[in-house]
Copies of this chain bind each other. A is one copy, B any other.
Amino acid sequence: MSETNNVEQMIKVMSRNGWRITDQRRLLAEIFAKTDGYLSPKYVYDQMTVHYPSVSFDTVYRNLRLLSEMGALEQFYFMDGGLKFRMNCSNHHHHHLICMNCEKTLTFDYCPMETTLKLPGNFKIINHRFEVYGVCEECQESS
């Protein structure tokens, strides 16, 4: 099943980068594998403590940072400046549709940079950011 695969894949990435596979890191992988939204450090920490009460916030934080540095997670500052992480789906370029209530995200392939976009100035384009924010179907119903 796919959740397990995601866990194993993340573990493999860590191993390949020479990291040790601790219980904490395995649990971290499991938490991300079973969610498709952006998670805050605090949320991840709370989830961790459910199965592993002695874990420290620093360790969670540290590993979140390391995992995104190595590319297994994707790091993201929301519109309100809050830091979030999600499993990296970097295989192909895409953008996100994000629920402002539950923060579940869907990906879509349309990219505005692929159109013949006439931009002012003579900038050397490096990067872009495009996200659509809204309320998902479930959250619309439950309000």
Contacts and interface: CB of A to CB of B under 8 A. Distances in A.
Interface of A: 77-81, 83, 97, 99-100, 106-108, 110, 112-113, 115, 117-137, 140
Contact of A119 (B119, B123, B128, B132): B132
B134 A124 contact: yes
B121 A137 contact: yes
Contact of A80 (B77, B79, B99, B124): B77
A25 B36 CA distance: 45
B129 A119 contact: no
A123 B97 contact: yes
26 contacts: A77-B80, A79-B129, A97-B121, A99-B123, A100-B126, A100-B127, A108-B119, A108-B120, A110-B118, A112-B112, A112-B130, A122-B136, A123-B132, A123-B134, A123-B135, A124-B135, A124-B140, A125-B133, A125-B134, A126-B133, A127-B132, A128-B130, A129-B129, A129-B130, A129-B133, A130-B130
